[in-house]
Amino acid sequence: MKQFKIAVIAGDGIGPEVINEGIKVLKNVAELDSGFQLDFTYFPYGCEFYAENGRMMDDDGIDKLKAFDAIYLGAVGFPGVPDHISLWELLLKIRKSFDQYVNIRPVTLLKGAHLPLVDVKREDIDMLFIRENSEGEYSGAGDWLFKGQENEVVLQNGVFSRKGTERIIRYAFETAKKEGRSLTSISKANALNYSMVFWDQVFEEVSREYPEVETASYLVDAAAMLMIKDPKRFEVVVTSNLFGDILTDLGAALAGGIGLAAGANINPQRDSPSMFEPIHGSAPDIAGKGIANPLASIWSASQMLDFFGYEAHGKIVLDAIEQLLLEARVLTPDMNGTASTSEVGDRVTDIIESILL
Ligand code: NAD
Ligand code: IPM
Ligand code: MN
């Protein structure tokens, strides 16, 4: 029987709360289908681990994780550990070490999810964001000169390599071609006179290889406005690391809320594990209350099943989320419900059973 090894890093705050529900769902799907087996190994990495050990993961943590088929991550970062340390030593370190250069974030309003805008139609909100996930504004390169002095200067360098820019844009064209949808590039060449001029140039070059894909290109400020005013313009979208980060939280607000927004960090070469996670953070304001919405992490579990080649099962999980939203009975407070995190997970598994049995 096919077996997949999953490394679980539940992480901080609501991370463990939502990940538990995703695992409940994954175990349920695997039990109901005798075709494959999922094997979970838990890693206690995160801010508590840091408090005890002075580091966010084991020194050989990356080597340990390398052997897995996928990583299932909750959230990283909590008051008490500076964010730039916790994130750079765990989440961003994994994305970079495993060259997970594609970050796939659906911005799709599922049936039953709350439509936030009055003059927009439900079916108009259906985008697939492909965010560059390995370099750009998140290169980590920079300098802090003359610290504390009057002439103090801080540099944060964006790094856009030919290889890194071309491969993400090509991946996006391939996706748009496969799905028969248009591709929009979002950049900012009017102000970022090196990086984004280069980005636009590469987009233009690669587009010549895909004459069948309809393209559009927007400046990021206008794109933010148009995502709200006229979301149907956007189908497949490719953008840089930072713009993709910001616009997918905006997208989350369009597509049912941050508690529903999922993301897959993909290494297309498959020579290292890919990682699946909700796009939200550790939500310290609601952590420990048992009211976090687990649907984003459940959706990312569905992305993991797709990635393993079990698209039919991934779809069943997504259908179950949709059915739960349509029932509008078992929802967490962020969706105006009164249910707990685990009640939502239980209801999703019940629906899956009713679909699969
Ligand atoms: P956040 O996403 O944690 O929270 C923003 C708001 O959304 C909060 O009001 C929170 O209660 C709400 N929210 C988020 N997820 C929710 C859910 N599943 N259900 C219901 N409500 C939810 O963002 P933040 O407050 O800016 O960041 C908190 C910490 O998380 C910081 O340390 C940050 O660096 C980190 N962070 C980590 C990740 C990650 O691990 N992928 C992503 C974003 C932020
Ligand atoms: C995300 C998060 C991360 C990012 C942070 C926590 C470093 O906001 O996954 O969207 O900016 O990529
Ligand atoms: Mn983010």
User: How far are the Cα atoms of 79, 295, 313, 317 from residue 320, in angstroms, in the given order?
Assistant: 34, 10, 11, 5
3-state secondary structure of 320: helix
> Do 1-100+262-357 and 115-255 have matching folds?
yes
Largest CA distance in the chain: 70
Identify the pLDDT of residue 34: 77
Q: Residue ranges per domain, the chain?
A: 1-100+262-357, 115-255
Identify residue 190 by its one-letter amino acid code.
Answer: N
**Does 277 sit in the ligand 1 pocket, CB within 6 Å?**
yes
Contact 244, 132 (CB under 8 A): yes
- Residue 127's pLDDT is what? 98
Mean of pLDDT values over 11-30 = 97
pLDDT for 244 equals: 98
Active site residue 194: no
What pLDDT, on a 0 to 100 scale, did the predictor assign at position 38? 97
Nearest to 25 by CA among 276, 333, 327: 276
Q: Quick one: pLDDT band at residue 11, thresholds 50, 70, 90?
A: very high
> Catalytic residue at 285?
no
**Cβ–Cβ under 8 Å, residues 25 and 321:** no
Mean pLDDT taken over the chain = 97
Looking at residue 27, its pLDDT comes to 97
| Inter-residue contact 172 to 236 (CB < 8 Å) | yes
Is 83 a residue of the active site?
no
Please state, in angstroms and as integers, the Cα–Cα distance from residue 352 to each residue in 295, 306, 335, following that order: 14, 16, 21
Phi-psi group of 8: left, alpha or beta (phi > 0 → left; psi -120 to 50 → alpha; rest → beta)? beta
Residues with Cβ within 6 A of ligand 2?
87, 91-92, 245, 279
pLDDT recorded at residue 155: 98
Which one of the listed residues 101, 188, 218, 334 is annotated catalytic? 188
pLDDT digits (tens, 9 = 90+) for 234-243: 999 999 999 9
84 CA to centre of own chain = 19
Cβ–ligand 1 distance for 245 under 6 Å, the answer no
Residue type, 111: K
Would you place residue 342 in the very low, low, confident or very high pLDDT band (cuts 50, 70, 90)? very high
138 is catalytic: yes
Alpha-helix runs per DSSP H in 68-116? 83-86, 92-97
The pLDDT of residue 319 is above 80? yes
The phi-psi region of residue 279 (left if phi > 0; otherwise alpha if psi is between -120 and 50; otherwise beta) is alpha
pLDDT of the residue at 242: 98
Cα–Cα distance for residue pair 211/236, rounded to 1 Å: 16
Ligand nearest to the CA of 280: 1
**Unique residue bearing structure tokens 């029987």:** 1
Given ligand 1 and candidates 85, 246, 282, which is best to mutate, with the most ligand atoms within 8 Å of its CB?
282
Among residues 12, 245, 306, 334, the one annotated as catalytic is: 245
Cβ distance 342 to 21 under 8 Å?
Answer: yes
Domain covering 1-100+262-357, topology: Isopropylmalate Dehydrogenase (3.40.718)
Q: Which atom of ligand 1 lies closest to the CA of 296?
A: 18
Q: Closest by alpha carbon to 345, among 299, 283, 281? A: 299
Does residue 121 carry a catalytic annotation?
no
Rounded (to 5) percent helix, strand, coil in the chain = 45, 20, 35
Q: Give the percent of the chain with pLDDT over 90.
A: 97
Ligand 1 centroid to Cα of residue 326, in Å, is 25
What are the tens digits of pLDDT across the range 68-111? Answer: 999 999 999 999 999 999 999 999 999 999 999 999 999 999 99
* Predicted local distance difference test score (pLDDT) of residue 259: 98
Q: Looking at residue 35, what is its pLDDT?
A: 87
Helices (H), the chain: 15-32, 47-53, 61-66, 83-86, 92-97, 162-179, 195-207, 220-229, 241-254, 295-307, 311-327, 341-356
For 286-297, the pLDDT digits (tens) are: 999 999 999 999
The answer to whether 317 and 351 have CB atoms below 8 angstroms apart is: no
What is the pLDDT, as a whole number, of residue 1? 87
Supply the pLDDT for residue 357: 83
pTM beyond cutoff 0.95: yes
Taking the C-alpha atoms of residue 182 and residue 134, their distance in angstroms, rounded to an integer, is 24
Homologous superfamily of the 115-255 domain (CATH): Isopropylmalate Dehydrogenase (3.40.718.10)
